[in-house]
Amino acid sequence: MQASGATLSSSVETAPGVAAALLAWYDIHARRLPWRRLPGQARQDPYRVWLSEVMLQQTTVAAVGPYYAKFLERWPRVEDLAAADDAEVMAAWAGLGYYARARNLLACAREVSRLGAFPDTEQGLRALPGLGDYTAAAVAAIAFDRPAVVVDANVERVVARLFAIETPLPGARGAIRAATATITPGRRAGDFAQAMMDLGASVCTVRAPRCLLCPLRAHCRALAQGEPERLPVKAAKKAKPLRKGRAFWIERDGAVLLVRREGRGMLGGMRALPDNGWSARGDGSGEPFAADWTSLGLVRHGFTHFDLELQLMLCASPEMASLAGENCSGEWWPVSQIETAGLPTVFAKAARLALAERGERGQ
């Protein structure tokens, strides 16, 4: 059962106490992250806040760190990113996943460059390309200290436990957002948002929450009920469908044929190995041209909504490989430098498989 109106109403009375306790904890325990200013320091550059928040969507802090540093080194200002070549940005993003984010990143940077600066309100930020409710709220709060309600997965968990919200996710998100609004302070909104994130990441964890160390334990209804780890309730996951396809390793003179995927859709705009498409029901058959094809094995990769089995096929005929290069709109990339091609993860896995097979064959 969802937390009742009376529960939320009574919690409003404790909102100042919740915010004060959390901010006092954050002043001491704030995580040191490359995109973050510590409590008491000047507000962060909105470009850096926005860049980090886009990268952190459905991605861990540990994975984002190197990418964030690489992007800032190459494109230190939003104007630099706006002027960047699409292919270079997509290659720099390779391996971070959810590639629509990279396309949205470019579109947003170009719009901000056209405007001359990031809007400083949640409404203005939401109007930018690719900025949803969460990212707009996060940038508004962290970069401009607007009292926006910022709810990511860590905050969902903290608030579901704090208010003992029983409705399963994702149905509980409306109640969680409403509850978060009751405790979001008018001042230090950016610190409060980051404090909630830190609390969920380091104390109010998915398993074995460290309730004795929690600055909000006196306010936590799930702790009072004796089972905080049970919340938030999550709906049972549905099994993901399996798709199958083939990718093709076509090599000549120490170089492999790469193609550029269409600008929109799955892995749009990325360099990749040629493939036959990923049929929702297909058997993975089909080759780009008639040749002696040898299977190098299967590459497995999980996407958000489906799993993929990609059979990697080797063109065993150098003559046919040359013909393929003449007939395909691609580029020959040095095999020895394949890691610099910026392949998305599934094709990087395929390349590693091909390189391993080449090593075993003494090529």
Measured in degrees and rounded to the nearest 5, phi and psi for residue 302 equal: -100, 125
- Per the listing, tokens 């540093």 go with 69
Q: What is the pLDDT of residue 251?
A: 87
Residues 295, 301: Cα–Cα separation, whole Å: 18
Are 121 and 206 contained in the same domain?
yes
Are 148 and 274 contained in the same domain?
no
- Per the listing, tokens 């919690």 go with 11
Number of domains making up the chain: 2
Q: Is 235 inside a domain boundary? A: no
Are 161 and 264 contained in the same domain?
no
Domain that holds residue 335: 242-361
176-235: pLDDT as tens digits: 999 999 999 989 999 999 999 999 999 999 999 999 999 999 999 999 999 999 999 998
Residues 134, 151: Cα–Cα separation, whole Å: 7
Q: What is the pLDDT of residue 362?
A: 53
Instruction: Output the six-digit token pair for 31.
Output: 């995580």
Dihedral (CA of 217, 168, 52, 182) sign: negative
Q: Which domain-ending residue is among 201, 230, 259?
A: 230
CATH no. for residue 186? 1.10.340.30
Are 26 and 89 contained in the same domain?
yes
Are 262 and 292 contained in the same domain?
yes
77-106: pLDDT as tens digits: 999 999 999 989 988 998 888 888 999 999
Instruction: Output the six-digit token pair for 9.
Output: 């109403």
Annotated catalytic residue within 53, 111, 156, 251 = 53
- Choose the weakest-confidence range: 195-209, 268-282, 292-306, 307-321: 268-282
Instruction: Kindly report the pTM of this predicted structure.
Output: 0.77
Are 156 and 218 contained in the same domain?
yes
129-157: pLDDT as tens digits: 999 999 999 999 999 999 999 999 999 99
Percent pLDDT > 90 in the chain is 60
Q: Is 252 inside a domain boundary? A: yes
334-345: pLDDT as tens digits: 999 998 888 988
53 is catalytic: yes
Q: Is 289 inside a domain boundary? A: yes
Q: Is 237 inside a domain boundary? A: no
Are 221 and 254 contained in the same domain?
no
Q: How far is CA 277 from CA 40, 259, 286, 313, 329, in A?
A: 52, 13, 9, 14, 16
Are 163 and 274 contained in the same domain?
no
Residues 1, 12: Cα–Cα separation, whole Å: 20
CATH no. for residue 340? 3.90.79.10
Are 114 and 165 contained in the same domain?
yes
Q: Quick one: pLDDT band at residue 261, thresholds 50, 70, 90?
A: confident
Dihedral (CA of 99, 102, 105, 111) sign: negative
Instruction: Output the six-digit token pair for 269.
Output: 């705009």
